[in-house]
Amino acid sequence: MEEDKDPESRSWLKTAGIVIACGLVGIVAVVLGFMLADTLIIYAHESSGERPMLYVMERADPGESTIVPLTGEDFEQHPALDAVIRGEERNPSAWEWGNRDQRVVGGTNVSYAESKALHDIYGPGGEHGLYPLLEYEGAYYVVLTTWP
Amino acid sequence: MRGDRGEHMKLKPNRHWIVMGPLAFIGAILLVATVVLAYTAFFTWLETSSGSPILTVWEVRGELPENASVIHLTEKDFEQHPALDSIIRGDKRDPGAWYSGDTPYGVRDKRTIGSAPVTYVERGVLIESFGPDVETRNQPYLEYDGAYYYFLTMIP
């Protein structure tokens, strides 16, 4: 009896093991496929010769948007954001042009990879696709990136 | 002998796996990458085929009203708004003839300076920086090198 049961359960375990291993390998392959596609897309754009822009808008009233505080770490990881909000690329427009509750703080050229990274972190999210407001020293900012 | 044969039998499917496994793995990576690339290319094509906003700049001449709002364009402004730079002093500059026509300031002598496609983000940023005051409909003059300009953006 025992001799019969043993190989059966062993082969069942073996099949389950193979299925799980194939599944895991499949997931890894899909993830690698996405990464490869992302790399190729960014490479194709970078070699197009065009440069995306990063713009930062300031909002007077936070309204109902999600507020995320900007930390020193954000500025460290994204020097372009640092330069626009508190560095040499700061070039604020007057509040009166366009909508009076917002103005442009500044902008700078970034690489496609940086533009994508900034959009992924600070771009619109949630079900309504709203831009989160970034709070720094009492002011509220929105990060916009172009993808020419 | 029996044991040998058993091992031989086992080896066959193993070898098969050694060849097919990595091939299937690479195949799956390439398949996913191709699907993602095709999907992205399709949506990029859809977006670009529907057209992008067009920025057009005009120059106006004559006396400015006393209470006119004037923004003096700086090097930094041109650096941060490359489309405006290319129209006012770059390769998109192609001035037309002077004529008397409607402007945001009433009927004035004007001429077109040039046009360039911009992204929706650039359009929004240009309007917030130098566009009309949405509340009072007051449009500033953009001054550069002694000439006065205004711009409009057209959405396709």
pLDDT digits (tens, 9 = 90+) for A27-82: 999 999 999 998 998 888 888 778 899 999 999 988 878 899 999 999 999 999 99
Tell me what percent of the residues of chain A surpass a pLDDT of 70: 95
Please state, in angstroms and rounded to a whole number, the distance separating the CA atoms of residues B126 and B122: 6
Interchain pair B28, A26: CB under 8 A: yes
Please state, in angstroms and rounded to a whole number, the distance separating the CA atoms of residues B102 and A58: 33
Which string of DSSP letters, residue by residue, matches B2-25? Answer: HHHHHHHHHHHHHHHHHHHHHHHH
pLDDT at B2: 47
Please state, in angstroms and rounded to a whole number, the distance separating the CA atoms of residues B147 and B59: 7
**Residue B151's beta-bridge partner residues?**
B57
* pLDDT beyond 50 at A12: yes
Q: What's the Rg (C-alpha) of chain B?
A: 30
Q: How far is CA B62 from CA A39, A48, B100, B107, B147, in A?
A: 54, 42, 11, 11, 10
Q: Which of A54-63, A97-106, A119-128, B98-107 has the lowest mean pLDDT?
A: A119-128
pLDDT at A22: 87
Calculate the dihedral angle through the C-alpha atoms of A98, A56, B39, A42, rounding to the nearest 10 degrees.
Answer: 140
What average pLDDT does the segment A9-38 reach?
90
Calculate the dihedral angle through the C-alpha atoms of B72, B73, B77, B79, rounding to the nearest 10 degrees.
Answer: -160
Distance (Å) from the alpha carbon of B150 to chain A's nearest alpha carbon: 13
Please state, in angstroms and rounded to a whole number, the distance separating the CA atoms of residues A126 and A140: 19
Please state, in angstroms and rounded to a whole number, the distance separating the CA atoms of residues B95 and B78: 19
pLDDT at A5: 57
pLDDT at B1: 45
Angle in degrees, CA B103, B109, B110, rounded to 5: 65
Work out the mean pLDDT of chain A and round it to a whole number.
88
Which string of DSSP letters, residue by residue, matches A17-31? Answer: HHHHHHHHHHHHHHH
pLDDT at B51: 82
* pLDDT beyond 50 at A1: no
Integer distance in angstroms from the first to the last C-alpha of chain B? 81
Tell me what percent of the residues of chain A surpass a pLDDT of 90: 59
Q: Is A107 helix (H, G, I), strand (E, B) or coil?
A: strand
Interchain pair B29, A29: CB under 8 A: yes
pLDDT at A78: 94
How confident is chain B (156 residues) per 10-residue block, as mean pLDDT?
Answer: 48 74 90 92 82 93 87 95 94 95 91 94 94 88 95 91
What average pLDDT does the segment A2-10 reach?
66
Please state, in angstroms and rounded to a whole number, the distance separating the CA atoms of residues A104 and A94: 8
Please state, in angstroms and rounded to a whole number, the distance separating the CA atoms of residues B46 and A45: 17
Q: Which residues of A touch B76 (CB under 8 A)?
A: 89, 91
Mutate which of B47, B85, B121 to test chain A, going by most A C-beta atoms within 10 A?
B121
**Other C-beta atoms lying within 10 Å of the C-beta of residue B22:** 11
The answer, for A104 touching chain B at a CB cutoff of 8 Å, is: yes
Sign (positive or negative) of CA dihedral A115, A120, A124, A129: positive
pLDDT at B125: 95
Query: Comparing C-alpha atoms, which of A44, A22, A55, A34 is closest to residue A113?
Result: A44
What is the interface size between A and B, counted as CB pairs within 8 Å?
100
* pLDDT beyond 90 at A105: yes
Higher pLDDT, A45 or A121: A121
